[in-house]
Amino acid sequence: MSYMPCKGRYDTMKYNFCGSSGLKLSAISLGLWHNFGDINSYENSRSMIRRAFDLGITHFDLANNYGPPPGSAEETFGRIVRDDFKAYRDEMMISTKAGYTMWPGPYGDFGSKKYLFASLDQSLKRMGLDYVDIFYHHRPDPETPLEETMRTLDLIVRQGKALYVGISNYKPDQAKKAFGILKNLGTPCLIHQPRYSMLDRWVEDGLLDLLEDNGVGCIAFSPLGKGVLTNRYLHGIPEDSRVASQSTFLNSKDITENLISKVIMLNQIAEKRQQSMAQMALAWVLRKKQMTSVLIGASKSSQIDDCVGALAHLDFCSEELEQIDNILKK
């Protein structure tokens, strides 16, 4: 049966301008870092993309190395686009990245012109696309001159392979230099994608102000602290959780008694707000005026529903924010 999107999909989603650009992104974006690889169920991946689109999510975030194996998330997404979304490509914002190890040898990593060009060409082929909406440099390169990396991003836009460019994981001093180079080239940086959550607040120490001063949008990845800022670990480690699966990104040593104690107290505030823990954590990130969107991950469609529900209550009173800060300092 062919897919027909929900007609009211744009009625309740919130859309924010990305920095000083004319582009709006959905306040909730879906990331394909996990659960879209060859090892995952295609039908489950497909149902999550469908559900996200039905809820008004327009931004789908990938990278060359997402899987596993690397590249397979883009292949899965490309298949879903061909199966369900050919007629809706112009209603979607599709992003991908390059910067982490993708293939062996000196040309499969970091930020050289050789690597970025080859990687994006491969990504477009895997997804069956003529262009992506946003292409990111995924992480700073300590050896390649920043000018080379930024000139490559500029050229990619001029060749029509991407409409916009962004950076990810850049510290404030690195980001400031990148913004200046791109501005002088005539291809301003659209967006920065840093890690940001209640448990990781480094962006508050200068980066958010820098983004605002330069008219650059911000989309936070891991806003749920790798899934810790949810109801998943309040009563132990579930068998189907990322921790139980021996993930390299989160293991049982990360789930300390002190951390769970904080999440329990935070969850009590969430309950008073009539929100799930995840909903409050997302709303907390979106409280910052510089935030364009939060990037969620999911293993099933119901988690996407829960996350989008955060938009029903984004405001915090000063007392709530003070209580949250006091808990996080413990």
pLDDT recorded at residue 242: 52
For the chain, what is the domain count?
A: 1
pLDDT recorded at residue 130: 98
pLDDT recorded at residue 244: 45
Cα-based angle 324, 328, 330 (whole degrees, multiple of 5): 125
For the chain, 330 residues long, give each residue's pLDDT as a single digit of tens. 689 999 999 999 999 999 999 999 999 999 999 999 999 999 999 999 999 999 999 999 999 999 999 999 999 999 999 999 999 999 999 999 999 999 999 999 999 999 999 999 999 999 999 999 999 999 999 999 999 999 999 999 999 999 999 999 999 999 999 999 999 999 999 999 999 999 999 999 999 999 999 999 999 999 999 999 999 888 866 665 555 445 455 556 777 889 999 999 999 999 999 999 999 999 999 999 999 999 999 999 999 999 999 999 999 999 999 999 999 998
- 127 part of a folded domain: yes
pLDDT recorded at residue 238: 62
CA–CA dist 194, 206 (Å, integer)? 13
CA–CA dist 224, 203 (Å, integer)? 15
CA–CA dist 57, 53 (Å, integer)? 5
pLDDT recorded at residue 240: 56
Global pTM value: 0.94
- 123 part of a folded domain: yes
- 42 part of a folded domain: yes
Which range marks the domain in which residue 89 is found?
15-226+284-312
- 325 part of a folded domain: no
**Left if phi > 0, otherwise alpha if psi is -120 to 50, otherwise beta: which for 226?**
left
Joined together, the tokens standing for residue 36 give 């879209």
- 241 part of a folded domain: no
SS3 assignment for the chain = CCCCCCCCCCCCCCEEECCCCCCEEECEEEECCCCCCCCCCHHHHHHHHHHHHHCCCCEEECCCCCCCCCCHHHHHHHHHHHHHHHHHHHHCEEEEEECCCCCCCCCCCCCCHHHHHHHHHHHHHHHCCCCEEEEEECCCCCCCCHHHHHHHHHHHHHCCCEEEEEEECCCHHHHHHHHHHHHHHCCCCCEEECECECCECHHHCCHHHHHHHHCCEEEEECCCHHHCCCCCCCCCCCCCCCCCCCCCCCCHHHCCHHHHHHHHHHHHHHHHCCCCHHHHHHHHHHCCCCCCEEEECCCCHHHHHHHHHHHHCCCCCHHHHHHHHHHHHC
What residues have CB less than 8 Å from 128, skipping those under 6 apart?
A: 78, 81, 82
CA–CA dist 32, 14 (Å, integer)? 21
- 26 part of a folded domain: yes
User: Cα-atom radius of gyration of the chain, to the nearest Å?
Assistant: 19
CATH number, domain of 41, equals: 3.20.20.100
CA–CA dist 26, 18 (Å, integer)? 10
- 330 part of a folded domain: no
CA–CA dist 136, 119 (Å, integer)? 11
CA distances 236 to 166, 252, 255, 260, 262, Å, are 38, 10, 9, 9, 14
- 36 part of a folded domain: yes
